[in-house]
A = this chain, B = another copy of it.
Amino acid sequence: MKYSAFAKSWFLDPTKPGFDNYPTLLDDDRKVPKLEASLEDIGEYQRRLWANQKQGLLLVIHGPDTSGKDSLIRTLATYADPGGFHAWSFSRPNSVEGAHDFLWRVTPYLPAYGQMVAFNRSHHEAVIGERVWPVRDVETYDWEARYRAIREFEHHLASEGTCVMKVWLNMSKDEHKRRLLKRLDKPRKRWKFDPSDIEGWKKREVYQAYAEEALAATHTEENPWYMIPGDRKPQARAIIAALVAAKLKTLAPEYPKESPEVLAEYRELLAKNGVS
């Protein structure tokens, strides 16, 4: 798996896991790629990916409540073919999911070859959210074992042809506050407000600390975490769209090609049946 210099410039540095080391806002919009061009590229190259059916792309999106995960996915999907693009959310495991190992519930939703799939939260919640709000009544978890399981799971996916891109939306405390209030003010957003948002806010520091540890432990050169400034949604979307577009171009540069001989044979068969 090769990454461009642009992609690498957004990698998490696992030797500097603290999110304070990463910007929540870029002051210079000149560093931000143009959104529309990236979305058009996503539309085109996702269709090629789907036509070729050789590789899959799994986009894992994490960040605090209100960090814009849903609207990011909506934006990325603008020109995507819904036949080959699906989005799934993973909140707290339900009772059936919690009765299985933590990778079980995401497995049926992994991309098929040719598909691009976005996870709004993912199996990584098992080493972040579940650490704040335990799902099972066990004495203690072996977090190192879970980190290792995630690394091996994602390495397995990459080896078998599914690229894994992991994104953290790095949002400041002030912006988090502002968006919680905004959620209550706007009829279009109000329904998304849930008392659990208040619990999330109360546990912001501890959640963030677990996330810092988990991201550093599950970042690999092959399946990296991208640290994206999250305080201005259009900025975050434009950066992530550019990263996704660049990755799709490497996975599916061309539509599948038929040899001229096969095409001639098809034409002949059609002509024989009155189509010419």
Q: Does A242 contact B (CB under 8 A)?
A: no
A270 B83 Cβ-Cβ under 8 A: no
Q: Does A202 contact B (CB under 8 A)?
A: yes
B82 A195 Cβ-Cβ under 8 A: no
**With contacts A195-B269, A273-B201 known, is A188 near B82, CB below 8 A?**
no
CA distance A111 to B270 in the complex (A): 38
Cβ contact of A81, chosen from B74, B190, B267, B269, cutoff 8 A: B74
**With contacts A86-B82, A86-B86 known, is A201 near B266, CB below 8 A?**
no
Q: Does A85 contact B (CB under 8 A)?
A: yes
CA distance A256 to B276 in the complex (A): 56
A271 CB to nearest B CB, Å: 10
Q: Does A159 contact B (CB under 8 A)?
A: no
A120 CB to nearest B CB, Å: 7
Q: Does A198 contact B (CB under 8 A)?
A: yes
User: Which residues in B have their C-beta under 8 angstroms from that of A73?
Assistant: 82-83
Number of copies: 2
Q: Which B residue's beta carbon lies closest to that of A179? A: B275
CA distance A193 to B184 in the complex (A): 51
CA distance A74 to B82 in the complex (A): 6
CA distance A77 to B46 in the complex (A): 15
A160 CB to nearest B CB, Å: 20
In the complex, given contacts A73-B82, A77-B77, what are 19 additional A-B residue pairs having Cβ atoms less than 8 angstroms apart? A51-B191, A52-B191, A70-B81, A73-B83, A78-B78, A82-B85, A83-B87, A83-B120, A86-B86, A177-B275, A184-B270, A190-B255, A190-B263, A191-B258, A193-B266, A195-B269, A198-B266, A198-B270, A201-B273
A interface residue numbers (CB < 8 A to B): 47, 51-52, 70, 73-74, 77-78, 80-83, 85-89, 118, 120, 177, 180-181, 184, 187-188, 190-193, 195, 198, 201-202, 255-258, 263, 266-267, 269-270, 273-276
